[in-house]
Amino acid sequence: MLVRTKYAQRLILLFGLLAVFGLSQLRAQDEESPEAKQYREDYDRYQKAIGTQDSMKRADALFIFMKDRPDSKVIEHAQMGYLLVVESLAKAEKYPVVITQCERLIKLRPRAGEAYYFYGAALKNVGRVPEAINALAKCTLIKNNASRKANEFLEFVYKSQNQGSLLGLEKIKRVAQDELNK
């Protein structure tokens, strides 16, 4: 009987240790790292922003998020969401609003190449061609999805202003590069 009691005690002790170990593992899983917690908060905030029905309010929410959390792991997604709003405004031919939205994004994220493309196109459409050429030149210099398209549009706009010649375009690109490097 004594053997059974010791055996039972050992089993109870073993089950107790397993229970304590299991609970500590569950608690460890519940406690997120600060980085994981911040990512989850940022992702939730981003999801809430893109879920906003009104496009201008969505752009504002995304802009505020990018301003508040410049080092977030979801900032590229927020920037793309913002640019989708800008693109829809451009398609609706609301060029003054596009210009304003692009200016504020460029001020916040000066390496946002696609913003320069929309900015240049809107400037061209409101008759501010020299500024449009500069913006498009910057877009071509920043490696992004719109670089090739911006280069084609830049050449088209530049030729229309210079009797079909591209002479002097490289100088404009060098000036744009200097401005980007500031």
pLDDT in tens, 115-165: 999 999 999 999 999 999 999 999 999 987 888 898 999 999 989 998 888
Q: Are residues 164 and 114 in the same domain?
A: yes
Domain enclosing residue 152, as ranges: 94-182
Q: Are residues 134 and 86 in the same domain?
A: no
Rg (CA), the chain: 28
* Residue 25: inside a domain: no
- To the nearest whole percent, how much of the chain has pLDDT over 70? 82
In Å, what is the CA distance from 168 to each residue of 141, 158, 163, 172, 180?
16, 9, 12, 7, 19
pLDDT of amino acid 7: 61
- Quick check: helix, strand or coil at residue 31? coil
Give me the mean pLDDT over the 62-85 stretch: 95
- To the nearest whole percent, how much of the chain has pLDDT over 90? 65
Q: Are residues 98 and 83 in the same domain?
A: no
Of 92, 112, 139, which marks where a domain is finished?
Answer: 92
Of 64, 92, 120, which marks where a domain is finished?
Answer: 92
Residue ranges of the alpha helices (H) in the chain? 2-30, 34-50, 55-68, 75-91, 95-108, 113-125, 129-141, 147-161, 169-181
* Residue 182: inside a domain: yes
Q: How confident is the model at residue 33 (pLDDT cuts 50, 70, 90)?
A: confident
- Quick check: helix, strand or coil at residue 83? helix
Contacts 24+ apart (CB under 8 A), 55-59: 55/85, 55/88, 55/89, 56/85, 58/85, 59/85, 59/86, 59/101
pLDDT of amino acid 146: 84
Q: Are residues 103 and 77 in the same domain?
A: no
* Residue 45: inside a domain: yes
Number of domains in the chain: 2
Q: What is the pTM of this model?
A: 0.79
pLDDT of amino acid 2: 47
* Residue 12: inside a domain: no
pLDDT of amino acid 90: 96
